[in-house]
Amino acid sequence: MKNREQGAPAQASADADATPVNELLRRLESVKATGPSRWAARCPAHDDRSPSLSVRECGDGTVLLHCFAGCPAGDVLAAVGLDLADLFPNKSLGRGPMRQGERWIPRDVLAAIASEAVVVLVAADTIRRGEALTDDDVERVAVAAARLRNAAREGGANV
């Protein structure tokens, strides 16, 4: 799934820095820190003269991307050899990866999915009412996406 042929080559010594945001930033050009856990860079998906790509790292390591010219996040990532899965940290939230012999408990996972779906529903309803989501709201939706993905992975899905 991951394409490491394009962009900067992976460095064996960079394991400690191999967070999703570092993996992305080192493939971008004209990267500038604009605040804590925030950066601006030239968008690799369009002919970008001024840095119009905004990058933000959430507390759990999930990366949020926004191109002010309107490029979809998938296009931005594809241009540097990454995909949407690369925006999420590998470690699951709350629960670590299953140890050998540990049983997967579907009830816990389904309960997590149900509560994260409510977060997404609340955000969708806010938008429907014509209200803007705050940065914190968007970050919470990103956490929901990461948790839903982790739940799917615990169930054995390769997502």
Q: Which residues bind Zn ion (CB under 5 A)?
A: 43, 45-46, 67, 69, 71
Q: In what order do the strands lie in the sheet with 29-35?
A: 29-35, 38-42, 53-57, 63-67
Task: Report how many helices (DSSP H) and strands (DSSP E) the chain contains, helices first.
Answer: 4, 4
Shortest Å distance, C-beta 78 to Zn ion: 12
Shortest Å distance, C-beta 84 to Zn ion: 16
Shortest Å distance, C-beta 87 to Zn ion: 16
- 78 vs 123, which CB is nearer to Zn ion? 78
Contact 140, 148 (CB under 8 A): no
- 76 vs 141, which CB is nearer to Zn ion? 76
- 54 vs 126, which CB is nearer to Zn ion? 54
At residue 41, what are phi and psi to the nearest 5 degrees? -155, 165
